[in-house]
A and B are shown apart, each in its own frame.
Chain A
Amino acid sequence: AQSVTQPDIHITVSEGASLELRCNYSYGATPYLFWYVQSPGQGLQLLLKYFSGDTLVQGIKGFEAEFKRSQSSFNLRKPSVHWSDAAEYFCAVGGAGANNLFFGTGTRLTVIP
């Protein structure tokens, strides 16, 4: 069965500190992986995606993620967090034959000055 696990419900980091948000997935076929960000009351904005090729992918706002097939993980990283990064982050997995995404439960990021 397809599923996505984001083990951290809430993370607090200081502005300027590095960030890593964890994502583990279970998918029976070749996964397509996404990270989305959601600000309060807003829709989802795509940060980055992995379909194939280089396992380290760069996204918007200075985010990157690394696909590790052996660990079924797709962790999101940012070297230096800004106060404006405070939001909820969702990892999602999809497949080649369908357009339905399976989302994790999200990680809420708080940034303290």
Chain B
Amino acid sequence: KAGVTQTPRYLIKTRGQQVTLSCSPISGHRSVSWYQQTPGQGLQFLFEYFSETQRNKGNFPGRFSGRQFSNSRSEMNVSTLELGDSALYLCASSLKGTQETQYFGPGTRLLVL
């Protein structure tokens, strides 16, 4: 089975712009979670989607949003980018989402200038 894929792998944006990141889960997986990884804050949970519904949300401002499509692919959007949004954004998928292993993609590295 193919693993979790994320596109694009690298992005450079400027402050104030918005960005959309994409994640394709492992075939058959219906839960997709997003994490932000920075040197200062480490790995932090953003949100989780299951069957096109946001099921859980971390402590991030409303500028961070996401959605999931009927084929379980997910996108996350960050509006009005700030310098502090520079990070590695990781997507993880699992079958049902609870009590299960999450499998991570390679991440999208976002640089905000």
Contact = CB atoms under 8 A, between A and B. Distances in A.
Interface in B71-102: 90, 92, 94, 97-102
A40 B101 CA distance: 22
DSSP class of B's interface residues: helix, strand, loop or mixed? strand
Given A32-B99, A51-B99, A105-B42, A99 B104 contact: no
B98 A97 contact: yes
Interface of B: 4, 31, 33, 35, 42-45, 48, 50, 55-56, 58, 90, 92, 94, 97-107, 109
22 contacts: A34-B101, A36-B104, A41-B109, A43-B105, A43-B107, A46-B104, A49-B101, A51-B99, A92-B43, A98-B56, A99-B31, A99-B50, A99-B97, A100-B48, A100-B56, A100-B58, A101-B43, A103-B35, A103-B42, A103-B43, A103-B44, A105-B42
